[in-house]
Amino acid sequence: MIEKNGVPSVLLTALTAMAKVAGANRIVASGLIPHTVGDPTRSPADEFIWRKGQIQKALNAAATPIEEAQVFADW
Amino acid sequence: MVRIAHYINQFFAGIGGEDKADAPFEIREGAVGPGRAIEMELGNDGEIVQTLVCGDNSFHADPDANIAAVIAAVAESKPDLLIAGPAFNAGRYGLACAAVATAVTEQLGIPAVTGLFPEAPAVDVYQSRTVMVPTGDSAGTMKDAIEAVVKVGLRLAGGDALRPAVEDGRIPMGYRRACVTDVPVARRATDMLLAKLGGDSFQSEVTLPELAEPIPPAAAVVALSQATIALVTEGGLVPEDNPDRIESSSATKWARYPISQLEKNENPRFKSIHAGYDSQWVDADPDRMVPLDALSALAADGVIGNVHEYFYATSGTGTTVSHAERMGDEIAKQLISDGVHAVLVTST
């Protein structure tokens, strides 16, 4: 709905199939269900670097013109 | 005596709740949990020979491996039917049930049936591929759900062809089968037209599908390095006393909180009140759901202009489509009036 109002939105989620069905247009696969932008298997320092990478991907998606719904794969 | 394999999750197997959603795949003999009620409903008509259990999170962490494990187990036990769930309105469990039922039929040719609330996410994804029986939206309706699932399941196991969904008591799969009628089409069409013109009720033979209209993608952000980016989450991250009383499930409310408060995370601390996932990792570090540290760092690096001063939150489990759409609309209007250029939404 945020998108319907004209604001580009990027959805970060572990469940990309559901995201497509729900109508999201810019989808970034990320993390696992209980921690979409977290990775507790990494050390805190590595986790932060990983998270920064995920958010950078999401920002790149926000800046990418698209015609239809897309899951943004690893860049 | 119909031999049945039954797929359930960690909760219905009695292993544990959300805290055990990473329970690995296991095979148990005979009926477990709701399987016992299924056997009572079956009476002498059938028995559950094998129960397949998998945690809701572990299933989705590697669906291919888990489905392969199900297929291997079922290929060996050779049941006449697989029952998955019922899963009611559960997101992850429903998807797992539908995926398992689909795989067993597509890969082994064994009939399968699952029970789902018609608005459950799994229905849109799998309804054309596997037999589904409509249920209520919670396990409170288990008795009726089991009755319905067993009725359809026994027919499938007996090799009966599917009848129209309405007759069978199923969620429509979306295809039509030709059948012979003794009323010629010209007659049926004119009868329908006369009814329509006369203001009488009539039943269209072809049901027009209700598709959500796809939303055209919003234009991409043009000058990212000058853009204001806002964080939105359905992970239910709120101040620990939940001052806006956002519901843990079936939310109708959203709220926004200053990112300065989240950054401090002290008086108040932030935690998740979302009832649909184990929030221990997010409670320990809220950045794992609302990535404020990462976004702030990228703003400091000049990748974006700045982080919007508020983040927005609600709970996205069991949320009805109509409430979700309304909340999204309200949040959007607020973001636009605040001059936000793009939004990152995190979802569980």
Chain B: residue whose CA lies nearest to A48: B294
Ramachandran quadrant class, B22 (left: phi over 0; alpha: psi -120 to 50; beta: rest) = alpha
Interface check for A38 against chain B (CB to CB < 8 A): the answer is yes
The nearest CA of chain B is from the CA of A42 a distance in Å of 12
| Inter-residue contact B253 to B246 (CB < 8 Å) | yes
Chain B: residue whose CA lies nearest to A40: B281
Q: Give the long-range contacts of residues A42-46, CB within 8 A, separation 24 or more.
A: none
CB contact under 8 A, B224 and A26: no
The residue assigned the tokens 């408060």 is: B261
Chain B residues touching A14 at Cβ < 8 A: 60, 348
The nearest CA of chain B is from the CA of A37 a distance in Å of 5
pLDDT in tens, B78-101: 999 999 999 999 999 999 999 999
pLDDT exceeds 80 at position B332: yes
ipTM: 0.93
**Predicted confidence band at B211 (pLDDT cuts at 50, 70, 90)?**
low
Q: Phi/psi at B36 (nearest 5 deg)?
A: -65, -40
Four-CA torsion B316, B317, B319, B320, nearest 10 degrees:
130
Chain A: residue whose CA lies nearest to B296: A52
Select the residue from A25, A27, A37 to test the B interface by mutation, using most B Cβ atoms within 10 A: A37
Q: How far is CA B25 from CA A2, B84, B112, in A?
A: 38, 14, 19
The nearest CA of chain A is from the CA of B59 a distance in Å of 11
CB contact under 8 A, A2 and B345: yes
B123 alpha carbon, distance to own chain's centre: 7
Instruction: Give the tokens for residue B133.
Output: 């029986």
List the one residue out of B226, B230, B253 whose CA is nearest residue B320: B253
B260 alpha carbon, distance to own chain's centre: 34
**Predicted confidence band at B293 (pLDDT cuts at 50, 70, 90)?**
very high
pLDDT exceeds 50 at position B127: yes
CB contact under 8 A, A34 and B278: yes
| Inter-residue contact B314 to B288 (CB < 8 Å) | no
List the one residue out of A44, A20, A42, A23 whose CA is nearest residue A32: A42
pLDDT in tens, B302-323: 999 999 999 999 998 888 888 8
Tell me how many residue pairs between chain A and chain B have CB atoms under 8 A apart.
183
Euclidean distance between CA atoms B224 and B303, whole angstroms = 7
Domain assignments of chain B as residue spans, ordered by start: 2-168, 224-346
Q: Checking DSSP bridges between strand B228-233 and strand B342-346, what pairing results, if any? A: parallel
Select the residue from B288, B301, B311, B338 to test the A interface by mutation, using most A Cβ atoms within 10 A: B288
Chain A residues touching B329 at Cβ < 8 A: 1, 4-5
Chain B: residue whose CA lies nearest to A37: B288
Interface check for A29 against chain B (CB to CB < 8 A): the answer is no
Give the range among B167-181, B198-212, B322-336 with minimum mean pLDDT.
B198-212
Interface check for A71 against chain B (CB to CB < 8 A): the answer is no
Q: pLDDT in tens for each of the 75 residues of chain A?
A: 777 788 999 999 998 888 887 888 999 999 988 899 999 999 999 999 999 999 999 999 999 999 988 998 754
Q: Give the long-range contacts of residues A30-33, CB within 8 A, separation 24 or more.
A: A30/A54, A30/A57, A30/A58, A30/B346, A31/B288, A32/B57, A32/B60, A32/B61, A33/B21, A33/B57, A33/B60, A33/B92, A33/B277, A33/B348
Residue A52 one-letter amino acid: K
Structural fold of domain B2-168: Rossmann fold (3.40.50)
The residue assigned the tokens 């109708």 is: B252
